[in-house]
Amino acid sequence: MPDPAVPMSEEVAEQTAKQIINAAYQPTSFRDDRPLPQYGPTPPVPQPGRPPMSSKAVDDTARMLGASILVATSGGSATAVLWASGHANPLVVALVFGAPTALVLAMGRLARKARQPMPPEIHNHIAGDLYQDQRNVHSRTSGVWAKTNNQQ
């Protein structure tokens, strides 16, 4: 690009204008000309820029951003309270700001346990002899008029 302090000739100005116009109309899309698979899902095409992430990674990123905002606001409010009071007892500060953290951790553990299904309770009260039959029955159905043969 020529120096802006020096006046341009008509030819240089026209050539510079053409370069600017051509640069503005460059395509910004991406076309992948690789052949598609014959069957099954079409694989994703990585675009220029940030690499693709799995859905779990996207969810984890959103959780981390939300948690960072929560930590920043609670830390800022704690700083404001301590600055306004002029001094604070370290034990009181630990109790006031440690209690919500312990509560959140306890609620998270409780929610994790509530999400898991409870195994069924089986109570067997047996009086006397016990006999368990452990045979396998193989069924086979065939024919126009469905005939079933159960064999041991």
Q: 27-53: per-residue pLDDT in tens?
A: 666 677 877 777 777 777 777 777 777
Check residue 146 and give its pLDDT: 73
The pLDDT, as a whole number, for residue 86 is 73
Which residue in the block uniquely carries the two structure tokens 């905002």?
69
> Band of the pLDDT at 1, cuts 50, 70, 90?
low
The answer to whether 16 and 1 are in contact (CB under 8 A) is yes
Helix or strand holding residue 142 (H, E)? strand 138-142
End-to-end CA distance of the chain: 91
Question: Residues 36, 42: contact at Cβ < 8 Å?
Answer: yes
Split at pLDDT 50, 70, 90, the class of 4 is low
Conformational region of residue 127, where left means phi above 0, alpha means psi within -120 to 50, and beta covers everything else:
beta
Residue 117 in contact with residue 108, Cβ under 8 Å? no
How far are the Cα atoms of 43, 138, 145, 150 from residue 142, in angstroms, in the given order? 43, 13, 8, 12
Residue 150 confidence (pLDDT) above 60: yes
Whether the predicted model's global pTM rises above the 0.85 cut: no
d(CA 28, CA 24): 10
Closest among 26, 29, 1, 30 to 16, alpha carbons compared: 1
Residue 23 pLDDT > 70: yes
Report the Cα 109 to chain-centroid distance in Å: 20
